[in-house]
Structure 1
Amino acid sequence: MDLGLSGKTGLVTGGSKGIGLETARLLAREGVDVVIAARRPDALREAAADIAATTGRQVRTLPFDVTKLDDIERLPDFIRRELGHIDLLVNNAGTGIYKPFLEVTDDELLHGMAINFFAQFRICQRVVPLMKEIGGGSIVNVSGATGIRVTSAPMLSSCTGPAKSAEIRFSKVLASELAPFKIRVNCVVPGYVYTPERYALWERDIVKRQLSAEEAETERLSWTSNQGMLDTHWGTPEELANLIAFALSGAAGYVNGAVLVADNAMDKS
């Protein structure tokens, strides 16, 4: 599908794996000049090589920690130097902490807000002025299901859920404020998405040990049923990338301030 994105420039945070990687791949395939940003230079190199091999297009890489103000402050100069301008921003970097409320440390609370909500707020503050200079742009903030629903044990989210909720509210407020400048802001809310690194995180935080393939599948099916999904279908990074690219594109030109939920009809009660 031609989304009319050819010739645009864009930045994808958390772009070395999972949803971020597949979004960057799809944008590159659509003709976008893409920068992928993530903490680990080796993972970025692997991701860039993978995208080049599958799309025939090169992407730029930016070693970047969304929790570090120094990294965020150098974004505008990097964008001007490497891209000239920026049309598209995908705030995808983020993670979760799945612990009982009374076990969450103050450091974990601060990190949970910094890597999720604070990162999106701060990055938008640095990128939006560049979009205003060119007369418009499109932003997608990626949140998570814990931002709109309460998850039961073992997927406890007293720390992550409020940060994800803040991302959703922030996206709606920002969309209203930036609409006069022709900058659209939408929020994509994934449910459970099949990514190996997220599975590893859940297994480490929840089960507290490495699982065999059979044990892991049993645990995942149990998590699915406990969280109220109608069946055992988990989303894929590719499916979320399709939604993000659509939201960024002119095909969604009348979609602004939307909360686009992709969670296979999880129970939201």
Structure 2
Amino acid sequence: MDLQLKDKVVVVTGGSAGIGLEAARLFAAEGARVLICARREDKLAAAASDIADSTGSDVDTVAVDVTNVADLDRLVSYVTERYGRIDVLVNNAGTGTYKPFLEVTDEELVYGMQINFFAQFRLTQRFAPMMIAQHYGVVINVAGETGIKVMHPPFRSSCTGPAKSAEIRLSKVLATELGEHNIRVNCVVPGLVYTDDRFGKWEREMAKTELDDEEAKATRKDWGRNIARPDHEWGTAEELANVIVFAASDRSSFVNGAVLVADGAEDKS
């Protein structure tokens, strides 16, 4: 299916690994003009090379810390000067902190809101005027299932869950407010999606130490048991990328203000 994304200008935050990388790869394969951003230039360069090797398409890169307002302003200026428009913004950068409520530090609380919610709010606010002027745009906010479910241990989510809930609510509010300008805003909510970095961080937080391969395997063994698929395995970044890219395309033109849950029908309510 042609997703009608050829030559669309697409910005993906958190685009150097995981879900963001795979979404950027699929956008590039569809012929879009893709810019990925993340904090580390070396990882961005490696991601761009990987995408070029697999799709034959070059992607642009800008090193950005989405919790830094000056970096967001610099990104918007770069896109304005280089492309003169933005068609799709994928607010994918984010993280999770899974600790008991009484152990969450003030620094972790503030950072969780900054990277998960404030970054999405601020960057969308900065790109929206360009979308309004061109009377077209799509924003995809990537949240997480802690925003819609009370997670059982070990995924304690008093720090991350409220920030993810705010992302979801923001998406629905903006879908109404910006819809009159032909701008769609949807929120994709991943369940347990495997990446080395993500699972490694969770394991360290839960065990409060580094784990070897066998210890990590034992820690993970029950995480996916409630996922309704034959192998009970976690989702993949590629599977989430398919949802994101379709939601960003004009093939989903009547989908606005939606909360698109992709969790394998995981039962953790």
In structure 2, the partner of 1:182 is: 182
Taking the aligned partners of 1:224 and 1:146, their CA distance within structure 2 comes to 15
Give the AA of the match of 2:139: I
Q: Aligned runs of 1:183-202 on 2, under 5 Å?
A: 183-202=183-202
Q: Aligned runs of 1:83-98 on 2, under 5 Å?
A: 83-98=83-98
Q: Across the two proteins, how many residue pairs are aligned to each other?
A: 267
Please say if residues 148 and 268 of structure 1, whose CA atoms lie closer than 8 Å, have aligned partners that are also in contact. Answer: no
Please say if residues 14 and 21 of structure 1, whose CA atoms lie closer than 8 Å, have aligned partners that are also in contact. Answer: yes
In structure 2, the partner of 1:115 is: 115
When normalised by structure 1's length, the TM-score is 0.96
In structure 1, the partner of 2:227 is: 229
- Summarize deviations over 1:209-266 as a string: whole Å, max 9, x none: 33233332222122233xx434522100000000000000011000000000000111
Secondary structure of 1:185's counterpart equals strand
- Summarize deviations over 1:28-67 as a string: whole Å, max 9, x none: 0000000000000100000000001111111000100010
Q: Aligned runs of 1:74-89 on 2, under 5 Å?
A: 74-89=74-89
Please say if residues 171 and 185 of structure 2, whose CA atoms lie closer than 8 Å, have aligned partners that are also in contact. Answer: yes
Q: Aligned runs of 1:230-245 on 2, under 5 Å?
A: 230=228, 232-245=232-245
Please say if residues 62 and 75 of structure 2, whose CA atoms lie closer than 8 Å, have aligned partners that are also in contact. Answer: no
Taking the aligned partners of 1:101 and 1:210, their CA distance within structure 2 comes to 22
Give the AA of the match of 2:178: L
Shift of 1:268: 4.8
Name the stretch that deviates more: 75-84 or 139-148: 75-84
Please say if residues 28 and 34 of structure 1, whose CA atoms lie closer than 8 Å, have aligned partners that are also in contact. Answer: yes
Secondary structure of 1:239's counterpart equals helix
Secondary structure of 1:74's counterpart equals helix
Taking the aligned partners of 1:255 and 1:246, their CA distance within structure 2 comes to 10
Unaligned runs of 5+ in 2: none
- Summarize deviations over 1:49-94 as a string: whole Å, max 9, x none: 0001111111000100010011112232111122221100000000
In structure 2, the partner of 1:39 is: 39
In structure 2, the partner of 1:103 is: 103
Please say if residues 139 and 186 of structure 1, whose CA atoms lie closer than 8 Å, have aligned partners that are also in contact. Answer: yes
Q: Aligned runs of 1:1-269 on 2, under 5 Å?
A: 1-225=1-225, 228-230=226-228, 232-269=232-269
Please say if residues 75 and 126 of structure 1, whose CA atoms lie closer than 8 Å, have aligned partners that are also in contact. Answer: no
Taking the aligned partners of 1:128 and 1:155, their CA distance within structure 2 comes to 34
Secondary structure of 2:141's counterpart equals strand
Taking the aligned partners of 1:268 and 1:193, their CA distance within structure 2 comes to 15
When normalised by structure 2's length, the TM-score is 0.96
Secondary structure of 2:193's counterpart equals coil
**RMSD between superposed Cα atoms in Å:** 1.1
- Summarize deviations over 1:160-187 as a string: whole Å, max 9, x none: 0000000000000000001100000000
Shift of 1:153: 1.3
- Summarize deviations over 1:87-135 as a string: whole Å, max 9, x none: 0000000001111111111111110000001110000000111111111
Please say if residues 227 and 266 of structure 2, whose CA atoms lie closer than 8 Å, have aligned partners that are also in contact. Answer: yes
Taking the aligned partners of 1:102 and 1:17, their CA distance within structure 2 comes to 31
Taking the aligned partners of 1:199 and 1:97, their CA distance within structure 2 comes to 12
Please say if residues 11 and 88 of structure 2, whose CA atoms lie closer than 8 Å, have aligned partners that are also in contact. Answer: yes
